[in-house]
Amino acid sequence: MNRTRSGYVGLLYATPALLFVAAFVLYPLLQLFLTSLTNSSLLGGSEYIGWRNYLRAYRDATFWRALIFTCKYTLIITPILMILGYLAALLTLSAKRFGKFTRGVVFLPVVIGLGSSSFLWFWLFDEQVGLVNKLLKDLHVIAQPIVWFVDADLGLAAVTASIVWKVVGFGMILFVAALQAIGDDVNEAALIDGASYWRRIAHIALPLTWRTILLTTLVSAIGSMLAFDQFYIMTAGGPESQTFTSVYWIYQNSFIYFKQGYGAALSVILMAIILTGSALQLFLMRRGQRA
Amino acid sequence: MSAFADLAPGAKAIAAPRTASASPLLGALCVGVVAIMLFPLLMCFSASIKTAQEASAVPPHYWPSALSVENYLKVFHYQASLPVYLANSFAVAALTILLCLGLGTPAAYGLARFPVPAKEFVFLVLLSSLMVPYQALLTPLYIMAASLGLANTYLGLAIVHTVVQLPFSVYLLRNSFEETPRELEEAGIVDGCNSLQLLRWIFLPAAAPALITVTLFAFIASWNEFIAALIFMNKETAFTIPIMLVGVRQGHFGAIDWGALQAGVVVSIFPCLAIYLLLQRHYVSGFLSGAIK
């Protein structure tokens, strides 16, 4: 079989998947742009209005509040996830007795649905029947039950706690793999030098796992920028629309208010933001490069 | 939790402290972490087997004073009934798996084993939904689904879930096909196999672990996916399990039925936990090879 022909055979194998991507990713993407230039509504009717949706987004205080809130959420939760994930990796690698078991348990919530875990934590944080208040009371941390979801900051704290529980194992497992990939010789050389534990972590482990840390941070931050389930289920955007995330506000416009033209414009803006992050991610995970 | 033992066999962790005296403290820390991680799950299960009345008691108790299946019965008989919702979730997941394997396997094979023109560009196109968050595409996809008569159908939602899972599937399978030894392929060629037969008899068996991992991930992603299911499955009989939970929480007269909600959560978590505990090795290895590296 000559090379060119063989190349086209290969392309033929990829054709169904390419057609799928063309039909359900690229074509909708084009539609998204076109819709964002219209005032089209799920209730019917659509006309071209140019860039007016984008202008409107620029003046939409709720959109800005949602975007800023999403960034705030991302900036709060990402470092917590990375630091706790790294510490969990170190702990479960160091502890001889329960290390591996602990690792398995910490990773366990990662396989659970975000919806399921949000309903679980919505209940745990309920001011009346929730066990978080009961536990805090039994431990004498609080005297009166806290009403978590009437305050934006408390609501954010509750959501953050639930997500840390849910995804801390994600970072941990990647950090474990990166730490284990550091060769024994490096480690032994450091031991011979008599470097203390935390010095070894700071001067050897951290620099050598830097790329994994960076990538995990990016993936995690992108995920947080797209948060929806946990806020939809736990805070419902409240109180007073203070905990709407970007995706939530898009959902609200497109599917609750039926303003899909405007929702499309908001989606394009969000996509531009995410694209910057994920382009960086793809660049870092180029094939052939290993952490 | 054996799967975590052999991520890098033989490598002594750099993290191991030298002093043996640290060991009891580390063990205690581990026990603390395990307790924190398991507390929510144990309490959720505990609430689900309380009587409905006790599950909504103020103030709450940690453990049930009497066991009851009342909450599970309520979830079972919720609206269109639990079997319908389970069937919906399983059907969508099964279609997602089929699409991911059916589209991903040949594409990965083509890219891994043929001198495809503009190969890396083709690969990038297949990965394009990694860069475009699917949440942004829900409006056009919903309109497409509606105009094709796919709203509230298994296929409609499975297509969205495939958009999400296909890049991972192609990525993982391509790596796996590329790692298949050339000698195996040559043996097949000597036996007179054409490229399709090579795929069937040489490459698919060799890539079995990757195929299992793709299946697992497609199942778990589809089973758990929330926002697309919320939008695409808006008819009560078409709900998947996570959307059923939204309804269970709303209850009948505004008062939340906490026991039934936690029973529903247990049901929704169960398949994922079972898969994780039974097939951990495949899950974790796929996670490490595909999630990032």
Q: Do A13 and B107 touch (CB under 8 A)?
A: yes
Q: How many CA atoms lie within 13 A of A124 on its CB side?
A: 23
Number of folded domains in chain A?
1
Supply the pLDDT for residue A284.
Answer: 73
Q: In the structure, what pLDDT confidence band is assigned to residue B13 with cuts at 50, 70 and 90?
A: low
The average pLDDT across B162-181 equals 94
In angstroms, the separation between the Cα of residue A139 and the nearest Cα of chain B is 14
Supply the pLDDT for residue B9.
Answer: 41
Q: Which of A10, A120, A226 sits opposite B135 (nearest CB)?
A: A226
pLDDT in tens, B68-86: 999 999 999 999 999 999 9
Q: Which of A99, A120, A287 sits opposite B30 (nearest CB)?
A: A99
Between CA A24 and CA A114 the distance in angstroms is: 24
Residue B5 has pLDDT above 50, yes or no: no
The average pLDDT across B58-75 equals 94
Instruction: Specify the residue for token string 């694209």.
Output: A275
Residue B17 has pLDDT above 80, yes or no: no
Q: Which of B110, B140, B249 sits opposite A14 (nearest CB)?
A: B110
Tokens of B47: 């609430």
Supply the pLDDT for residue A277.
Answer: 79
Q: Is residue A291 part of a domain?
A: no
Size of interface A-B (CB pairs under 8 A): 332
User: A259 with A253: CB under 8 angstroms?
Assistant: yes
pLDDT in tens, B268-285: 999 999 999 998 888 887
Which CATH number describes the domain made up of B78-290?
Answer: 1.10.3720.10
Q: Is residue A180 part of a domain?
A: yes
ipTM for the predicted complex comes to 0.91
- Domain with residue A248: its CATH number is 1.10.3720.10
How much is the CA Rg of chain A, to the nearest whole Å? 24
Rounded to the nearest integer, the mean pLDDT of chain B is: 89
The average pLDDT across B12-39 equals 77
In angstroms, the separation between the Cα of residue A26 and the nearest Cα of chain B is 8
**If we measure between CA atoms, which residue out of B8, B24, B32 comes closest to residue A95?**
B24
User: A159 with A122: CB under 8 angstroms?
Assistant: no
Range of the domain at A155: 53-284
Q: Which residues of chain A have pLDDT under 70?
A: 1-2, 285-291
Q: In the structure, what pLDDT confidence band is assigned to residue B16 with cuts at 50, 70 and 90?
A: low
Q: Structure pTM?
A: 0.92
User: A216 with A174: CB under 8 angstroms?
Assistant: yes
Q: Is residue A206 part of a domain?
A: yes
Please indicate if any CB of chain B lies within 8 Å of the CB of A201. yes
Domain segments of chain B: what residues?
21-68, 78-290
Q: Do A105 and B38 touch (CB under 8 A)?
A: yes
Q: How far apart are the first and last CA of chain B?
A: 23
Q: Is residue A102 part of a domain?
A: yes
Supply the pLDDT for residue A161.
Answer: 98
Q: Is residue A85 part of a domain?
A: yes
Supply the pLDDT for residue B292.
Answer: 47
Q: In the structure, what pLDDT confidence band is assigned to residue B1 with cuts at 50, 70 and 90?
A: very low
Residue B14 has pLDDT above 60, yes or no: no
The average pLDDT across B131-135 equals 91
Q: In the structure, what pLDDT confidence band is assigned to residue B20 with cuts at 50, 70 and 90?
A: very low
Supply the pLDDT for residue B291.
Answer: 52
Q: In the structure, what pLDDT confidence band is assigned to residue B164 with cuts at 50, 70 and 90?
A: very high
User: Taking CA B78 as the corner, what is the angle to CA B77 and CA B84, rounded to the nearest 5 degrees?
Assistant: 80
Q: Do B226 and A114 touch (CB under 8 A)?
A: yes
pLDDT in tens, B218-270: 999 999 999 999 999 999 999 999 999 999 998 766 789 999 999 999 999 99
Supply the pLDDT for residue A12.
Answer: 96
Alpha-carbon dihedral of residues A83, A88, A89, A92, nearest 10 degrees? 160
